[in-house]
Amino acid sequence: MKKILGVGTALVDIIAQVDDEVIVKLGLNKGSMSLIEETQISQIRKYFNNPTITSGGSVCNTIHELNHSSHEASFFGKVNDDDYGHAFLKDMEEAKIPFLGIKEKNSLPTGCCNILVTHDGERTMATHIGIGSQLSIEDITKEKFQGIDHVYMEAYLWDHDLTKAALKKVGELSKELKFELSFSLSDPFCVMRNRLELEEFISSNVDLVFCNLEEAKEFSQSEHMSDIAKYFQHLNKKFVMTSGKEGGYFFHEDNVVHESSKIVTDIIDTTGAGDNFAAGFLEKYLLNSSIQESLENGHQKASLVIQQIGSRIKRNQSDKKLLAV
């Protein structure tokens, strides 16, 4: 059993099914995440009919699924002392996931992610990060990371100066406290905005990187798998890459492992597919299972979550209740 800490954006997810033309009207990039201002939220919500509301955030989704494993999972983020913040913390408490982050009264609200799911199951995210953008170096203390075996973080936090500095502080602590550090590239547009800085950070601090094919193309500035593999080999880090129906890949030095994905005919919502894949991979990887078994477990988790609405694998009736906000 390992102690895993997820460092990410604490968000409340508001999920609704919409037609493709709504994505166009709102000027969003289908299948990607866009950062929005608080004033844009009402414009987006007018297209939402009976939305599902749940706690979320990419890293938090991964930690929630790891909470169902034999590992001890906890979460570090920042919430406001407001209704969404209270709902988020209540969800953590009910899931028995320790919240090691920060709650404070602030003019910025707890973050929210408006998730628009089209009829092909693709999800498009419009995120107001809120107080999550205020996670700072001062919030990252050595005491919070003592005894942790593995820390998992997200590139979404690289879009803000304070959170970027906070991630760098975690990178420094990983060397001092000798915990393993994994990092999700999060979104191709996020990579595009920050590619050179992310490359430097990963080269200096990160042990294991998660990405999908589009993020890998943007990060490596390559279109072909052979060139992507060479780029990963050059960085000399462990990379786990998903490629939709093509399955998942693991790259490290000269070693390349491939595992086919699960065949799913009834895709309802791809929200959380990558997050749950990461949880499945980490679950086995941190037990020193084979890479093949780790990839297979990642595919299993992803295949389950895309057959439902929402980013958490539903196991029983208590998992299906909505947040009261």
DSSP labels for 10-60?
Answer: -EEEEEEE--HHHHHHHT--TTSEEE--GGGHHHHHTT-SS-EEEEE-HHH
Look over the chain and give the mean of its residue pLDDT values, rounded to a whole number.
93
Mean pLDDT of 63-74: 96
Residue 319's pLDDT is: 52
Question: What is the tens place of the pLDDT at every residue in 126-175?
Answer: 999 999 999 999 999 999 999 999 999 999 999 999 999 999 999 999 99
**Cβ neighbours around 144 below 10 Å, total:** 18
Enclosing H/E stretch for 258: strand 255-259
- On whether residue 140 sits in a domain, the answer given is yes
The helix-helix angle for 58-66 and 273-285 (nearest 10°) equals: 40
pLDDT confidence band for 312 (50 / 70 / 90): confident
What's the domain count of the chain? 1
Q: Indicate whether 317 pLDDT > 90.
A: no
Q: Is the whole-model pTM more than 0.75?
A: yes
Q: Is there a domain that residue 168 lies in?
A: yes
Residue 325 falls inside a structural domain: no
Asked if the structure places residue 68 within a domain, the reply is yes
| Residue 286 forms part of a structural domain | yes
Domain residues for 209? 3-320
pLDDT tens per residue, range 12-31: 989 999 999 999 999 999 99
Confidence of residue 320 (pLDDT cuts 50, 70, 90): very low
Per-residue confidence (pLDDT) for residue 148, from 0 to 100: 98
Residue 325 near residue 53, CB atoms below 8 Å: yes
* CATH code of residue 106: 3.40.1190.20
Higher pLDDT, 310 or 283: 283
Percent with pLDDT over 90 in the chain: 85
Give the mean pLDDT of 75-99. Answer: 94
